[in-house]
Structure 1
Amino acid sequence: MVEDYIRGLKLRQIRNAAVVIIDNKTHQVITYVGSSSFQDTTDGGQVNGAKAIRQPGSTLKPLLYGLCIDEGLLTPKSVMTDVAVNYQGYAPENYDEKFNGYVTMEYALEHSLNIPAVKGLRLLGKDKLVSKLSACDFRQIRKDQNKLGLSMILGGCGTTLEELTGLFSAFAQDGTWYAPQYIRSGSTPRQVRLLSPAANFMVTDILSKVNRPDFPLNWGATEKMPRISWKTGTSYGRRDAWSIGYNKHFTVGVWVGNFSGVGIADLSGAQTATPLLFRIFNTIDYDTENEWNAPPEDCELRQVCSETGLLP
C-alpha cells in the first residue's frame, strides 16, 4: 500500500514514506515500514525513515494543550489572542501568515495555529514539556533540552516517527504512555502518566472533529472509516509531512517526504500524509463499531462566557 501510494506522488517529486502501527491493547508494534520500497536504490529505499530524526512540525501541540489543561492554565474554551508577537527577536507566524484575533484554545488546536501554541508553551514552561517527552524516550529532545526554546512546539526540535507514534498511542490509553513493544517479551512495558484522563479526553475530542482545515481535499472514502482522532504536521521548508491518528484499537503514524531532505512546495501533512493515514485505517479497521472514549467522571460541562471563556 505504501509503495503504491508513493508511486502516485513521484510525479510531484515526493519519493518516500514511512509507517508505524501500534496495537493499543497489546502495545505491540504490528507494522513497521521504513521506506516505500526497500529495493529502491535510487531514492534511498534502504534508509529507515521510521527511525530518522526529523522536524515534527505541529505534532507536539496536542500534548502541550493537554498539559496546559492539567496545570489549570487553559480549558478548551479559554480565549487566546492570535496576533503578532515578538519574544526577544523570535516572531512566530501562522501557517497561512494571517492573524485570527481572539480564538479559543479549541479553535487554535483544530486549526493548528502557531502563535497561540507558542503562547501556550510560554505559559506552561518549556521544561515541563521537555520533561514529559524525555520520559517517553524522545532521545534527541532529551539530548538537546538545554538548547531548545519556544520554537520547539512548531517543530524546532528533532523527533522520529517511532517516538511520535508511541506518544499518540498514549492519547488512546487515557493519557498513559506505554513503551512500544517491538518484540514479544511477555513483560509489562514501562509506562508514564502524561495527562489526566479528563485532559486527555478533551484533547482527543478536539482532534476527532472533521470540520477543520487539515481534512484532505477530495477525500470521499470515509463513510465506513472508523472514528479517529488525528493531528497533522508540516516541517519548516516543507521537508516533512506527518499525520498521526488513533482510536481505541490502533495508533498509526505516517511520514511522507524525501530522505534527501529536499523541500517540496506541494508537501503538507494534510494533503500528503493524511490520505495515506485514512487509507490505512480504512484497511485495518474498516466498518467496525465506533468504540469511543466516554467522558471521565471528573470531566464536566459548564457554561462560560462566549467572549472571555471564563465563568459568568
Structure 2
Amino acid sequence: MKLHRLKKRLFTLVAIPFVLFISFIIADYSFPLPITETKPTQTILAQNGAPLWRFADSQGIWRYPVTLNDVPNYYLQALLTYEDRHFYQHFGVDLTALLRASYQNLANGKIISGGSTITMQVARIIDPHERSFWGKLKQLFRTLQLEWHYSKKEILTLYINRAPYGGTIEGIGAASWSYLGKPPSQLTYSEAALLAVLPQAPSRLRPDRYPDRAQQARDKVLDRLETYHVWSSDKLEQIRQEEVWAYPRQSPQLAPLLARRLSLHYPHQAIIHSTIDQPLQYTLEDLAINWKNQLLPKTSLAILVVDHTDMTVKAYVGSIDFNDNSRFGQVDMIQALRSPGSTLKPFLYALALNDGIIHSQSLLQDVPRMTTDYRPRNFDEGFNGPVSVSEALQRSLNLPAVQLMEIYGAKRFTSQLNSVGLMLSSSDNQPNISYILGGVSLKMDQLVSSYSAFARHGNVAPLRFTLDEPLIEKPLINEGSAWITRRILAMQNVPMLNQQIDNIVPLAWKTGTSYGYRDAWAIGINPRYLIGIWVGRPDGTPVVGQYGNLTAVPVLQQVNTILLNKERGQNRPLPTDPMPDSVTIADICWPTGQVLPPQDTNCHRQKRAWIINEQIPPTLELLNIAKHQYYQSGSITLWLNEQGLRVAADCRGAIAKSVALWPISLENWILTRERRQTLIPPIDLSCPPLGEEQLSPLLITGIVPNQVFRALPNQQDFSVAINSQGGRGKRWWFLDGDLLAETDYPTSIKLALSINDKGHHHLLLLDESGQVDRIYFQIQ
C-alpha cells in the first residue's frame, strides 16, 4: 500500500511538470508573443547621427532603436544593478527578489520595492495586463515565453528599446535624444544613472520638468551601485556633485519633406541614415523662413544642396515653411513638376559643343524670326544681332538658343536628357523647339542632378540620400564640353596670352523664368556643391515681376556664401577643375568662325575661343536662310577685273577673290563696311557673271530716321503711310516690339499714331530672306 502511494506521488511529481510543459507549449503556439504586431516607428537621421524627423506609430509613440553596442557598458551596469541584479542567472522570475519585495511591502504596509525582473517588465510592456490575479498569471506566461524564445541579450535589447520614458517616448535612444540632445553612446555616468531609473516613473521624474525629483531618483541608483561596489566611491562622489538638468523635451523637426520622401522610399526601415548636414539644414531652413516677409503672399521657396564630389544631398528645403498652410508648406517643390524656364540652355550648348557644332565663340544670330510658326522673343523684348555662344548663354538670350535648337533637334535633345534621368514632359510629350525656353515640365531634383555633368567631367550621377545608395554615373557630354560650359556659366573669358587659368572655378550659375512669371530659378555650381533654388507659388498662379535674376539669384548667393564659409571653417581644400587636354585656345574670325591671319581682309572681328580636339566648326546659318543659296553666309568666290568690278570667270583679266559674308539677317546690326553692299563689288555690265541674282537691300520708306511727329491742332490721332523697298518675299512690320502687320511686297500700310503715345518709338521691318531694317522716331 505504501509502495503504491509512493509510486502515485512520484507519478504526480513527474506528470504535473510534464503536463504544465505540454500546456505551455500548446499555449505558446496558440498565443504567440505580440512583439511583431507592434507597428515600428521610423527615425530619419542626419549624417552625424542626429535625428532629423521621426514618424511615430499608430499610438503616437516614438522609438529610436539601438543595440547593446550602442549604449555604454556603465549604463547597463546601472540598469541591471538597480532593476535586476540576477538578470543573467534567473529564468525570468527572480524568486529571491519577489520574497524580499513581499516582506518589505508587508512590513511597511505600503509598496517599498517591486520584484519584477527585466523580463517581466518587457512582458508587461509588450502585452499590458490588468492588476489582478489573472493579469499576473498572463504576465508570468509572457515572461516564460520571452525566456523560451529569446536570449538574455535579446530580452535586454527589447527592454532598452521599449522602456517608457514619459509621454510618447519609448526606449533609451529616443529618451537620450529628446532629453539630452545626444545619442546614448555619448551618455555621461550621471546621465546613464538617470536614464536607468527614469522608466520607473517617467512622468513624475521628467528631468526637464522636475529636476529635483530626477536627481533624488538618480542618487538612489548611485547608492545601489555603491552598496554592491559596482562603481568606485570616488567616481560616485564626483557624480553626486553633478546637478540633473535637461533641455525642454523636443521632437526632432528638421527636413520634414525629405523625411517623408525617405519614409515612402524605405517604408520598412526603422532607422534611415541620410546624408544631410544637420547644421547646414538648420541654417537653410532658417534662411528660408527669413525670406517669407520679403516674398509675396502664397509664395514658397525650395533649396537643394548637393556635394557634387560624391552626389550626397547635404540640405533639402522643400518649402519655405512646413507649418505655413497659406504658402502650401507641406507641398514638396523639389519633387513638383514645374516649368524650367531657361535652365535647360546650358545642356543644349554643351551638347552642341560635344558634337562639334559650335565652339565657345561661334557666331549666333539674335534677330527677329517670323518665318516659322514658333516666334519667341528675348526677355527684354530687344534684339542684339551678332552674338557669340558665350554671350548668348551668359545673357540667356532666347533667339540664339532657338536657332541652335532647330539645328540640334528637339527630339534628339530630349532623348539625351532623358537618358541621364532628366525626364522632360509636356501636354502631348512631343518634343519641340519650345522646350529650350521652358515649354516643358521637370522636377528640381532631376535638374540639379543633371547639372552634375558640368562638375563631374561630363558624367551625370543621381542624387544620393543615403550612403547605402550607390554612386552611378552616366555620360552625357565629353570632358571638354563640360569644362567649357561651366567656365562660360562662371562668366570667365578665354585668357589672353601668358595668362593663367585658375583651377578652382568660382560660382557658375544659370537662371530661369517660366512663362507668366510662375517660376523663378537659379541653379549654381560652386567648387564643391550644386545648389538649386526655386521661388514661386505652388498653385501655379503668376507673380508679376518675379524672375530668376531678381528673386532666385539673391537666395543662391546667400547659400553659396554660407557653403564657402563652411568650407573655410573646416579648413578643407576646395576641389579643382583643371583644363582638360582636349581643350585648347584659338583666335577665330567672324563672320566665318574660322582661323584667319589678323591682316586677312575676311577677318572682320577676331575672337579668342575655347575649342575641343582642335575642331573649329564654321558659322551656323538660320534654317530658313539655308534654303536660299544666294543669301547664305560664309566665304564665296568672286571674279573681279582690273577695275575691281564683278565679272564672269571667263572674262579677260578676271581674278578670283574670296569674300567672307555675314549672315544676311544680321545686315542691320553690323557696320556699314561689313555689309554685303560694301563687300560685294558692283557688276561690270560689259562682262557680267551669268545667272546671278541681285541682292536688293531691305529699306523702310515713307518715314526717315529720328523723324518727329506732331499732331495738328485739335487732332488726337493721325496716320503715316509707309512702304518697303528691296528685300525678298513676305515682310513683317513691328511697332515697339509688337507685330503690326504682315504684307506682301510692295503693299504699303498705314501707321496709326496717337498724340497720347508721346515719346520715342521704333519701327522694325523683317523680310522672308531674314533682312531687317529699323527706324526710330518720336511723337511730341
TM value normalised by structure 1: 0.89
Correspondent of 2:481 among 199, 204, 216: 199
1:209 aligns to 2:491 (yes or no): yes
Q: Structure 2 vs 1, CA of residues 103 and 235 (structure 1 numbering), >3 Å: closer, same or farther?
A: same
Q: Structure 2 vs 1, CA of residues 4 and 71 (structure 1 numbering), >3 Å: closer, same or farther?
A: same
Instruction: String of CA shifts for 1:101-124, please: whole Å, max 9, x gaps.
Output: 111111100110000001111111
Q: Which residue of 2 aligns with 1:222?
A: none
Larger radius of gyration: 2
Structure with more contact order per residue of length (Cα contacts < 8 Å, sep ≥ 6)? 1
Q: Which residue of 2 aligns with 1:163?
A: 446
Correspondent of 1:113 among 393, 397, 402: 397
For 1:116 and 1:16, how far apart are their aligned partners in 2?
32
- CA shift, 1:260, in A, is 1.8
The answer to whether the Cα contact below 8 Å between 1:155 and 1:235 also exists between their aligned partners in 2 is yes
- CA shift, 1:203, in A, is 0.6
Instruction: String of CA shifts for 1:179-231, please: whole Å, max 9, x gaps.
Output: 111222153x33211111111111111100189xxxxxxxxxxxxxx821110
For 1:309 and 1:291, how far apart are their aligned partners in 2?
34
Q: 1:197-276 counterparts in 2 under 5 A? A: 197-209=479-491, 227-276=506-555
- CA shift, 1:266, in A, is 2.2
Secondary structure of the residue aligned to 1:300 is: strand
Q: Which residue of 2 aligns with 1:298?
A: 582
For 2:587 and 2:561, how far apart are their aligned partners in 1?
37
Correspondent of 1:88 among 372, 395, 404: 372
Q: Which residue of 2 aligns with 1:182?
A: 465
1:8 aligns to 2:288 (yes or no): no
The answer to whether the Cα contact below 8 Å between 1:6 and 1:16 also exists between their aligned partners in 2 is no
Secondary structure of the residue aligned to 1:30 is: strand
The answer to whether the Cα contact below 8 Å between 2:410 and 2:433 also exists between their aligned partners in 1 is yes
Higher mean Cα deviation, 266-275 or 125-134? 125-134
Secondary structure of the residue aligned to 1:3 is: helix
- CA shift, 1:46, in A, is 0.4
- Residue identity in the other structure for 2:348: L
1:151 aligns to 2:403 (yes or no): no
For 1:112 and 1:274, how far apart are their aligned partners in 2?
14
TM value normalised by structure 2: 0.37
Q: Structure 2 vs 1, CA of residues 265 and 186 (structure 1 numbering), >3 Å: closer, same or farther?
A: closer
Q: Structure 2 vs 1, CA of residues 3 and 247 (structure 1 numbering), >3 Å: closer, same or farther?
A: closer
Q: Which residue of 2 aligns with 1:220?
A: none
Secondary structure of the residue aligned to 1:139 is: coil
Secondary structure of the residue aligned to 1:195 is: coil
Secondary structure of the residue aligned to 2:583 is: coil
For 1:260 and 1:39, how far apart are their aligned partners in 2?
17
For 1:50 and 1:184, how far apart are their aligned partners in 2?
20
Runs of 4+ residues over 6 Å off in structure 1: none
The answer to whether the Cα contact below 8 Å between 1:232 and 1:244 also exists between their aligned partners in 2 is yes
Secondary structure of the residue aligned to 2:442 is: coil
Q: Which residue of 1 aligns with 2:112?
A: none
Structure 1: runs of 5 or more not aligned: 212-225
- CA shift, 1:144, in A, is 6.6
For 1:190 and 1:145, how far apart are their aligned partners in 2?
31
For 2:445 and 2:552, how far apart are their aligned partners in 1?
16
For 1:145 and 1:129, how far apart are their aligned partners in 2?
17
1:311 aligns to 2:595 (yes or no): yes
- CA shift, 1:91, in A, is 0.5
- Residue identity in the other structure for 1:203: T
1:42 aligns to 2:326 (yes or no): yes
- Residue identity in the other structure for 2:478: S
The answer to whether the Cα contact below 8 Å between 1:2 and 1:17 also exists between their aligned partners in 2 is no
- Residue identity in the other structure for 1:8: N
The answer to whether the Cα contact below 8 Å between 1:121 and 1:153 also exists between their aligned partners in 2 is yes
Aligned CA RMSD, in angstroms, stands at 2.0
Higher mean Cα deviation, 77-86 or 301-310? 301-310
1:277 aligns to 2:561 (yes or no): no
- CA shift, 1:308, in A, is 3.8
- Residue identity in the other structure for 1:17: L
Correspondent of 2:315 among 20, 31, 34: 31
- CA shift, 1:290, in A, is 6.1
Higher mean Cα deviation, 1-10 or 234-243? 1-10
The answer to whether the Cα contact below 8 Å between 1:6 and 1:15 also exists between their aligned partners in 2 is no
For 1:120 and 1:126, how far apart are their aligned partners in 2?
10
- Residue identity in the other structure for 1:200: A
- CA shift, 1:67, in A, is 0.5
Q: Structure 2 vs 1, CA of residues 238 and 299 (structure 1 numbering), >3 Å: closer, same or farther?
A: same
- Residue identity in the other structure for 2:518: R
Q: Structure 2 vs 1, CA of residues 156 and 24 (structure 1 numbering), >3 Å: closer, same or farther?
A: same
Higher mean Cα deviation, 35-44 or 282-291? 282-291
1:138 aligns to 2:417 (yes or no): no
Aligned residue pair count: 295
Instruction: String of CA shifts for 1:129-174, please: whole Å, max 9, x gaps.
Output: 1112111222343x87842210000000011111111111221111
- CA shift, 1:307, in A, is 4.1
- CA shift, 1:19, in A, is 1.0
- CA shift, 1:43, in A, is 1.5
Structure 2: runs of 5 or more not aligned: 1-285, 494-504, 597-780
Q: Structure 2 vs 1, CA of residues 229 and 135 (structure 1 numbering), >3 Å: closer, same or farther?
A: same
For 1:140 and 1:271, how far apart are their aligned partners in 2?
26
Instruction: String of CA shifts for 1:11-41, please: whole Å, max 9, x gaps.
Output: x446210111111122111211110111001
- CA shift, 1:265, in A, is 1.7
For 1:203 and 1:229, how far apart are their aligned partners in 2?
9
More helix by share: 2
For 1:8 and 1:82, how far apart are their aligned partners in 2?
39
1:68 aligns to 2:68 (yes or no): no
Q: Structure 2 vs 1, CA of residues 14 and 58 (structure 1 numbering), >3 Å: closer, same or farther?
A: farther
- CA shift, 1:291, in A, is 4.8
For 2:581 and 2:428, how far apart are their aligned partners in 1?
36
For 1:64 and 1:204, how far apart are their aligned partners in 2?
13
- Residue identity in the other structure for 2:515: Y
